[in-house]
Chains A and B, each alone.
Chain A
């Protein structure tokens, strides 16, 4: 137990901050995923063939390749690409992109693909009559989207988004391979220096279980709150 004490002798405070880092990366990734989903959902639902193909390519490819691959591609490829762009502007030094940014971008792209599918399903389940009614009333397309479709879509997608959140939370453990100090990386370091991997990886497992359990409770509350009146 003293291994988990706070301060210089134990790993308690390190693991605590690592947990906060995991939460931060998950939230950032989820937010980035939302942006991706809001861009690609209309593409997937659009009647234009080309836009449709672009939207389908995004979700199919991202959901078909391993998460680790996306992370490596952004981590190794991103640095190269950034240095290439910088060399055009005459800067030849080494550029290292922050692990937090690459990590949350990579996980965000992945969770975006899942969120896109969720949003698409939610929009498809909205009654057709509402689209027709707003058209008849002469409401403009984007106002129709922001005021009528979006609020309903978000409410309908809460249960499925909670699954996406769980996946995202667990996927953040993969960022540890790039060196970002979150729960997994911290327990790897702790396990290495104390030679007690069994204990520290169990602690990591418990921390993840706690996070999933608490977020489940929170999302259930949200779900009840927003399904009032239905």
Chain B
């Protein structure tokens, strides 16, 4: 059991890298689409809704395969600059995970935006605060605070999602566990150790979010 630990830990680092980078891009995508969702223009609105409907309605595995195997099928993409990115499974995984978590994040932020009390915005308007400043200084901070618990769940869901990277040949924690299983024929040791590491990471994320909630959370 001890002998397989180093290889699993090196996998865990890849898992964390995947998680952090996809959460980072996902947050940006989610924020953009949340703003598009609360836009009053029906076309922009529908487009953002379609995006989140597609990515929340299909399994992550389908999205991963579509990007990893599917995009390589398009001739002009293969000849363009993007090929450098999409030929690497690592980047494909990050693209798929970011788009997926972006869809969920946009829903979380949208519902946070919509539950902000009208009074805050009206008060800002009556004080003559411009729309831009109202958004950046009032709506956005409240929305972020309100969505902290839901966003914490999303991070944990995404941590579990990154295990799918192993099916497109990335040696993350799951991939390493599979390799150990194949090499040693000891499925219980390999997968249970990996499970403990996953649980440990979940535990840490859970506690960080709990701390942030306590410190910056929205008191009502």
**Binary interface encoding of chain A residues 168-182 relative to chain B, with 1 for a CB under 8 A from any of its CBs, else 0:** 001111101100000
Interface residues of B (CB under 8 A from A): 53-54, 57-63, 65-66, 69-74, 156, 159-164, 166-167, 174, 177-178, 181, 187-188, 191-192, 194-195, 198-199, 202-203
In the assembled complex, how far is the CB of residue A59 from the closest CB belonging to chain B, in whole angstroms?
A: 12
From B58, B60, B69, B198, A64 is in contact (CB under 8 Å) with B198
Within 8 A of B (CB), among A181-207: 184, 187-188, 191, 196-198, 201-202, 204-205
CB within 8 Å: A-B pair count: 114
User: Cβ of A73 < 8 Å from any Cβ of B?
Assistant: yes
Within 8 A of B (CB), among A57-92: 61, 63-69, 72-73, 76-77, 80
Contact between B65 and A76, CB atoms less than 8 A apart:
no
Question: Which stretch from A5-13, A208-216, A221-229 is at the chain B interface?
Answer: A208-216
Q: Contacts of B203 on A, CB cut-off 8 Å?
A: 64
- Chain A residue numbers with a CB within 8 Å of B156 are 63-64
- Which of B61, B161, B187, B199 contacts A65, CB < 8 Å? B199
Instruction: Say which residue of A61, A73, A198 sits within 8 Å of B73 (CB atoms).
Output: A198
Q: In the complex, which residues of chain B have a beta carbon less than 8 angstroms from the beta carbon of A65? A: 160, 195, 198-199, 202
The answer on a CB contact under 8 Å between A69 and B58 is no
The count of chain A contact residues (Cβ–Cβ below 8 Å) is: 36
Docked pose: A187 CA to B166 CA in angstroms: 19
Which A residues contact B (CB, under 8 angstroms)?
A: 61, 63-69, 72-73, 76-77, 80, 166, 170-174, 176-177, 184, 187-188, 191, 196-198, 201-202, 204-205, 208-209, 212-213
Beyond contacts A198-B66, A212-B57: 8 other A-B pairs, Cβ-Cβ < 8 A, are A73-B188, A174-B59, A184-B59, A201-B65, A201-B69, A202-B66, A204-B62, A208-B57
B contact residues around A174 at 8 Å (CB): 59, 61, 164
Nearest 10 interchain pairs by C-beta: A66-B163, A76-B187, A197-B69, A173-B59, A198-B70, A64-B202, A170-B59, A198-B73, A66-B160, A77-B187
Find the A residue at minimum CB distance from B186. Answer: A80
Beta-carbon contact of A202 and B70 below 8 Å? yes
CB distance from B65 to the nearest CB of A (A): 5
Whether B199 pairs with A64 at a CB distance below 8 angstroms is: yes
Q: Please, which residue of chain B has its CB at the minimum distance from the CB of A216?
A: B57
Which single residue of chain B is at the shortest CB-CB distance from A173? B59
With A170-B60, A188-B65, A204-B62 in contact, do A66 and B54 touch (Cβ < 8 Å)? no
User: Is B164 in contact with A201, judged by CB distance below 8 angstroms?
Assistant: no
User: Is the beta-carbon distance between B187 and A208 smaller than 8 angstroms?
Assistant: no
**Inter-chain contact B163/A69, CB cutoff 8 Å:** yes
Task: Assess whether A69 is in contact with B73, with CB atoms less than 8 Å apart.
Answer: no
